Structure formats: C-alpha cells, structure tokens
C-alpha cells in the first residue's frame, strides 16, 4: 500500500483531502503564546548591487510605481496598493532578501509576534519608527527556519491608482500576490507555518509521502507564501499579479521589443498547482520575479487541500512543458538581522528535479503511461 492509496484522484488528475496530509518527525515546538493574526503578505525588501539597473528593470520595464526614493533606496508599489510600498530596493554589497514582510490585523498583534518568537528563542527586534519609510511600529525576527520576517500594522497611506487608467500599461502589475521560500525540510516548515496560522492549499508528494513543496495562505487565495524543497533558507521568488493573462503576454512582447528576452527564465504558461497563468523573470541581480494571474478562491473553512503526484508533468506546467533546471537550483540568499547572508543548508530528502529526470521531461502525464511523447526532457 502506498501513501496515497486512501485518496481518490479527481478528474483533473490530482488528489483532494480536507486536511493537509503532511507530517514531520522533527517539529519546531509550538509556542504557548498565541500567534500574531496575519492578514497578508505585504512587501519584500530586496538588497540589490546596482540600484540604477534594478530601478530601470522594475520601473521602466515592469512599470511598478515609485512612491519615494533616495540615493540608496527605491520604494515601489503596484497599481491597486494603498500602503506605501510592496517592494523595497536597497543598495547593498550582496544581492539578498532583507525581509519577507506581513501586515497584521491590529497593533496588539505586534506584541503577540514578540511573545511568539521570543518563546521560540528567536532573535527579535522592534522599532517603533519602523525599519523602512512609510511603515510604522514593526517587529523583525529571524525565524526558526532561518528566514527574516517582518510584521507591521501602522502604515502611511498613498493614493490607490486603480482608477488611473491613463497610467495603466498593457502589462500593469496590480497586486503583490505571494512569496516562495526554499527550505531543506518542507514538512517541518509547514508545521511551523501552521502554528503561525497559515493553512495549506496545495502540495506535491510522492507515493512514499516525501513532500517536495507546499502552498500556504492567510488571505483567501492559493498562497501568501510557499515552501519549496531545496538548499536553504533562500528566496525562490516574489510574485506580482496582473488582471488577466494577456497582460503577461504584453510583458513578454515588451521584453522582446527591448531586446531583454534573456530576462525570461520560464513561461509564459499555466501552472497545474494553483491553476494560475505565470511568467518567471530574473532581475539584474538574479532575483526571481513571478508574474501571476487567475488562481482561485480558498477562503471557506472546508476548502479542499490539493495534493499532486511529483511525477505528474502537468503539476508545474499544465501544458506539460519541462521546467528549466535553474528554476529548481537557483535562488536568492536571505539575510539575518545584522545584514549578513544566512548559511545555506543542503536538502537531504530527494529533490524534485532529481526524481523527474531532465527537470519535468521524463515524468508521466497519466499513471501507467509507457509512452513519453516528444517533450524536451526526453532529449536531455
């Protein structure tokens, strides 16, 4: 009997259950202090090595809006945002992520964050004036997984540009959608995020129950963050939404017209996981940016958890196109609270790329298939 014999596949080829079928033998202790009530992923602080080149990429190519800037930092937001920023670009010596930042429901949730992480023995720093412009009282921590997290409530409001159609471009980015984190032990990370109040929406497993990735949410979408199995802690990508898939195609056309097509790492395509239309780009420092649209609502308390077979070549791309190896192996460093890169720990569980030889090219589309077809992976 295999790990999934009690589950029945749906007509779309995946499995569903009411609870995330993920177990860890090495859990992080659950604090007795209640977790802060997180609303949504709110912004990421990126350290970049060439601020001018990064500004040109995010502003002139991707059309994010400059809220404020100085010689060391650029604060950017998407068209529908009303808080000060969704992305901070800060000049620094090493390209890395300084903060995965979340907004919480009340000012008192900052006290809860301090108590929650202090009980875990994590380093915690609080600044009433905030760590970045436009954000007030904030708590930053190095979490037990090695990631730099921030929590805040107070924020400077700016104009929401949703009605400024004169400013919209064909590829307008309208919202920050999610983060994606690389960690060696996905079940351990999932258990900790569940203690923090996150719920699993989708995951990728094999017949033995090895978990290769999991998607978790606070807002009622597929995810606010995902945990991807690999050497970590690292940042896999930060994702911005467009309204429709034609906006993503327009971004591809613009990159081609600017002779910047080498910024496209993967896509456009449609994911099996999340059902979203996607495009992956690399910025001048190699930070990965996903452009994302058309996932689905997950806000009901009995929202089914979707489990994908790691050998199903439609899980990562619904059309069965292979995943480029860099997408599995490359990611951004993350910093501790002193600004030093965190050491990267190797994953010891099997890697998703290794079990789907040539990225996704040797996977099956339907269990029992013996013919592999003509996909690129078959020639690698």
Q: Where are the domains of the chain?
A: 8-31+170-312+326-351, 38-166
Judge: domain 38-166, CATH 3.10.180.10: yes
Tokens at 49, concatenated: 């090595």
Token pair, residue 129, equals 């004036």
Closest CA to 235 of 112, 87, 67, 79: 87
pLDDT score, position 359: 54
pLDDT over 50 at 322, yes or no: yes
Q: State the pLDDT at residue 6.
A: 65
Q: Mean pLDDT for the chain?
A: 94
Contacts of 250 (CB under 8 A, 6+ apart): 169, 170, 171
**Averaged pLDDT, 90-113:** 98
Tens-place pLDDT, residues 194-209: 999 999 999 999 989 9
| pLDDT number for residue 296 | 98
Cα-only R_g, the chain: 20
Q: Which residue has the higher pLDDT, 178 or 322?
A: 178
pLDDT at 1 over 50: no
Structure tokens at 260: 């910047």
Percentage helix, strand, coil for the chain under 3-state DSSP, each rounded to 5: 15, 35, 50
User: What pLDDT, on a 0 to 100 scale, did the predictor assign at position 375?
Assistant: 62
pLDDT at 290 over 70: yes
Mean pLDDT throughout 182-191? 98
Q: Residue 198: exposed, middle, or buried by beta-carbon count in 10 A (0-12, 13-18, 19+)?
A: buried
- pLDDT for residue 379 is more than 60: no
354 pLDDT band (50/70/90 cuts)?
confident
* Res. 154: pLDDT tops 90: yes
Predicted pLDDT of residue 378: 54
Mean pLDDT across the stretch 258-280? Answer: 98
- For 8-31+170-312+326-351, CATH gives 3.10.180.10
Say yes or no to pLDDT of 357 above 90.
no
Average pLDDT over residues 242-269: 98
The domains spanning 8-31+170-312+326-351 and 38-166 adopt the same CATH topology: yes
Q: What predicted TM-score, i.e. pTM, was given to this entire model?
A: 0.95
346 pLDDT more than 90? yes
């Amino acid at each position: 009997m295999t790990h999934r014999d009690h589950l029945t596949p749906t007509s779309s080829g995946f499995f569903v259950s009411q609870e995330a079928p993920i177990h860890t033998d090495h859990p992080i202790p659950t604090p007795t202090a209640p977790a802060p009530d997180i609303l949504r992923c709110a912004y990421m602080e990126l350290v970049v090595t060439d601020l001018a080149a990064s500004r040109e990429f995010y502003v002139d190519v991707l059309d994010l809006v400059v809220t404020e800037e100085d010689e060391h930092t650029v604060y950017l937001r998407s068209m529908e945002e009303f808080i000060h920023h969704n992305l901070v670009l800060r000049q620094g010596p090493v390209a890395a992520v300084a903060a995965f930042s979340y907004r919480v429901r009340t000012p008192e949730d900052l006290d809860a964050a301090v108590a929650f992480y202090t009980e875990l023995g994590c380093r915690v720093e609080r600044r009433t004036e905030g760590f970045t412009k436009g954000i007030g009282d904030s708590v930053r921590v190095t979490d037990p997984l090695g990631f730099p997290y921030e929590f805040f409530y107070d924020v400077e409001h700016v104009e929401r540009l949703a009605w400024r159609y004169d400013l919209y471009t064909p590829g307008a980015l309208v919202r920050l959608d999610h983060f994606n984190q690389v960690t060696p032990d996905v079940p351990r990370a999932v258990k900790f995020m569940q203690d923090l109040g996150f719920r699993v929406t989708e995951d990728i497993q094999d017949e033995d129950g090895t978990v290769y990735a999991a998607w978790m949410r606070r807002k009622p979408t597929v995810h606010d963050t995902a945990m991807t199995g690999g050497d970590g802690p690292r940042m896999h990508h930060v994702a911005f939404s467009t309204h429709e898939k034609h906006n993503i195609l327009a971004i591809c056309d613009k990159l081609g017209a600017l002779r910047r097509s080498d910024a496209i790492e993967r896509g456009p395509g449609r994911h099996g996981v999340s059902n979203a239309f996607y495009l992956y780009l690399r910025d001048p420092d190699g930070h990965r940016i996903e452009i994302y649209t058309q996932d689905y609502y997950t806000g009901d308390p009995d929202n089914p958890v979707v489990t994908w077979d790691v050998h199903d070549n439609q899980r990562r791309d619904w059309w069965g196109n292979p995943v480029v190896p860099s997408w599995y192996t490359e990611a951004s460093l993350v910093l501790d609270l002193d600004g030093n890169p965190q050491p990267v720990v190797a994953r010891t569980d099997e890697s998703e790329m290794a079990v789907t030889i040539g990225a996704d090219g040797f996977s099956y589309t339907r269990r029992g298939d013996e013919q592999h077809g003509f996909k690129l992976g078959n020639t690698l």
